[in-house]
Structure 1
Amino acid sequence: MLIPITRGVETGQAGMAQHERIGRPSHLPADQVITSPQPSASPAFFSSLKYIGEGKERSLRSVSLRHHDAKSRRATGQRRFGSPKAVEATATSDTPAPDRSEAKRGERPTDTTIAGDGDEACANCGKQGSDTVKLRKCTACRLVKYCGVVCQRAHRKQHKKACKQRAAELKDEQLYSQGHERPEGDFCPICTLPIPLPMGEHSGFNVCCMKKICDGCHVAAGKRGMFDCAFCRTRYPGNDADKLAMVQVRVAKKDPEAIYHLGTKYCHGELGLQKDMRKAVELWSEAAELGSIDALYSLGVAYHRGDGVQQDRAIAVELYRKAAMKGHVDGRHNLGCFEREKGNYNHAVKHFLISAKMGDKKSVETIKMLFMGGLATKKQYAEAMRGHQDAAEEMKSHDRDEAKRLGY
């Protein structure tokens, strides 16, 4: 019989509140229902239509001028493509003569002297875009174009409301379209399967290589007689001092995961360190700048709770947003909790659906509560359950089942 192996590794906790949730789902009034916002055209859209119309009018005026020139040529006996001698000279040269039959049918070469393409113009002065007049889109809303900074400033008061509305829509589109896949750090580097949630209950964190190894791979390595790190083959540290030394070596090399992990030790006062939330926040900030997604989430929790920093829910939401867009499941769930608290149940369900499909059981339970309260549809609840089941199936393996049987 296989004896369970005692691992000399850190627990799989990620940050001061990796598994922490904001608020708890509660039964909500049944008379409230989710309503989907109806799309509507912004004022800037109708403003752009005006300039499109002006462009067409100018193009028609140019065509009328060309028609007048043609009548003048016919009155003076001049040919469409020049004098008879010029045509004869052209026919004898290497360049083929133009097809006069096309001229008889009224088809003429494109007039390249007309500036602009007729469908783009400065939103303020109406100046058409051309080779000499370069129009640039408003970077916030991407709805209108300007020929310069002066026109953009002059049009700001008129455009401000539509710009803010569209910018918010673009931000939401980006938020809901990204972060549907879990990040690389959520996958066991040995079996390459996503680690079940919460990860701290199904994996161990090895300070030697800063990798989360799932319980299944750890047990499988033990069966093969491998009692060191299953990933890098380094011998496990025997005490807290050795663990801290390993972490600090990688911190000195600017490893974002090591810096983040050291922050969690200051947060909880572990490895012989004095608990210091200010130091933890400082380390998490550095790790976040270097690319740690878990650090973004932990900073969000710190600002949300006012732990080590001044409480600021707006900053917390922005940090959760950044983490969620990179695939952080708890960050996505917490965004849903914020939207639910504000009464934006439609947006909340969108967030919970994404996190549920990544394997978060809490999100499924929350959608169930919203459904029971009349704030989510049966279709949404069914979609959440199917998505969660698919994610759970993807995370299964024989070795993980064996680890669970052994009590891991």
Structure 2
Amino acid sequence: MSTSVADNEIKEPKSCANCGQEETDDAKLKGCAACKLVKYCSRDCQVSHRSRHKKACNKRTAELHEEALFRQPPRREDCPICFRMLPEGDTGGGQTYWTCCGKTVCSRCCYEHIQVTGEDAVCPFCRSPATERILERLNSRIKFNDAEAYFELGLIYFNGEEKLEGVARDPEKGLQLLIRGGELGAANSYSLLANAYMIGDGVEKDEKKARHYHELAAIGGSVKSNLAMLEVDAGNFDKAIKHAMIGAEFGDPNSLKLVQLCFMNTNGEFATRDQYETALRAYQQYIEEVRSESRDKAAVIGDQYKYLIEPKKPIEKSER
């Protein structure tokens, strides 16, 4: 998302907002962590100024949150073997995370490794053999603040995995691991938590927390259409379309479907033709970037190699 005019007009404060003390090399000021608008020389000045600053702080904090929600997610990393962009993991498969080295390898390279070597239990990147000691490897990876390892380990504890070293379900432990994974950059951790709170799976049902984690997932780069659908349910179609446009650009077919339906079924009231065509072009560009003949060949072999998914239901033009 490009920087707005309002952002450009905000200048970094050089003095304490309460007492006016100037910042020097020896006396650094500390900024308001929420709004970034003001700085203070001490905690006492911050507390004293709070009542006068609260309104502006809340307004700017809300603006910053809104900007973060609609910021373009970073480009996906490349497969470390073929150097082609990895498919968007949030919207489908097409990749495997290896606990030995912490690398995520695309389905094509996993498949071709098996075809060339005949080894289906060896990491295509570091050649380490697979092991049943998944927990040991994941616990080793989290020491390096590996976000995906936190997600995988959190998922194991949150759901329980009796077949995997007899891990009983422990939602509380899984929750903490998933939160840490989200903080380190695994947006799928937040998505899982959001869905859990939405239906009350392993935690008490709480729609406010579900929305909170959906928003954190979006800020972290998740492009699923979940938050867009929440905005549709709330009647906030402008926000829903913004989320869906980003989702379509990063390969989520259900986001594209939402933009199309909002255009076709409402005669352009909630989404314009230009928005739909822009979303369609962006989606097609994503497909061109991740698609390859070798990935398509691997996808035919089995579901574990598929890297593109279809919308939940066929897109049909309304008869209205």
TM-score by length of 1: 0.57
Change (3 A) 1:167 1:368: same
Alignment of structure 1 residues 331-350 onto 2, 5 Å? 333-350=225-242
Mapped contact 2:178–2:193 kept (Cα < 8 A): yes
Match of 1:316 in 2: 210
Q: Does 1:398 align with 2:293?
A: yes
SS in 2 for 1:213: strand
Q: Does 1:189 align with 2:189?
A: no
Q: Does 1:165 align with 2:65?
A: no
Match of 1:376 in 2: 271
Match of 2:127 in 1: 233
Structure number with larger C-alpha Rg: 1
> Aligned equivalents of 1:254 and 1:294: distance in 2?
16
Equivalent of 2:135 in 247, 261, 275: 247
Deviation (angstroms), 1:400: 0.5
Amino acid at match of 2:169: D
Larger RCO, structures 1/2 (Cα 8 Å, 6+ apart): 1
Change (3 A) 1:270 1:262: farther
Mapped contact 2:99–2:137 kept (Cα < 8 A): no
Match of 2:313 in 1: none
What root-mean-square deviation, in Å, do the aligned CA atoms of Structure 1 and Structure 2 show? 3.9
Match of 2:196 in 1: 302
Q: Does 1:387 align with 2:279?
A: no
* Unpaired segments ≥5 residues, structure 2: 306-320
Change (3 A) 1:282 1:158: closer
* Unpaired segments ≥5 residues, structure 1: 1-38, 49-118
Alignment of structure 1 residues 205-284 onto 2, 5 Å? 205-227=97-119, 228-237=122-131, 242=132, 245-252=133-140, 254-255=142-143, 256=146, 257-266=148-157, 267=159, 269=161, 271-272=163-164, 273=166, 276-278=169-171, 279-284=173-178
Change (3 A) 1:207 1:376: same
Amino acid at match of 1:357: E
Change (3 A) 1:226 1:138: same
Change (3 A) 1:122 1:178: same
> Aligned equivalents of 1:195 and 1:386: distance in 2?
17
> Aligned equivalents of 1:120 and 1:197: distance in 2?
43
> Aligned equivalents of 2:57 and 2:278: distance in 1?
34
Deviation (angstroms), 1:178: 4.7
Change (3 A) 1:225 1:128: closer
Deviation (angstroms), 1:206: 3.7
Deviation (angstroms), 1:121: 9.1
SS in 2 for 1:368: helix
Amino acid at match of 1:249: R
SS in 2 for 1:224: helix
Superposed CA deviations along residues 3-39 of structure 1, whole A, max 9, x for unmatched, are xxxxxxxxxxxxxxxxxxxxxxxxxxxxxxxxxxxx9
Deviation (angstroms), 1:207: 4.2
Residue range with higher mean Cα deviation, 206-215 or 349-358: 206-215
Deviation (angstroms), 1:231: 1.4
> Aligned equivalents of 1:347 and 1:341: distance in 2?
11
Same amino acid, percent of matched pairs: 36
Q: Does 1:329 align with 2:223?
A: yes
> Aligned equivalents of 1:281 and 1:139: distance in 2?
26
> Aligned equivalents of 1:343 and 1:178: distance in 2?
23
Deviation (angstroms), 1:359: 0.8
> Aligned equivalents of 1:229 and 1:130: distance in 2?
54
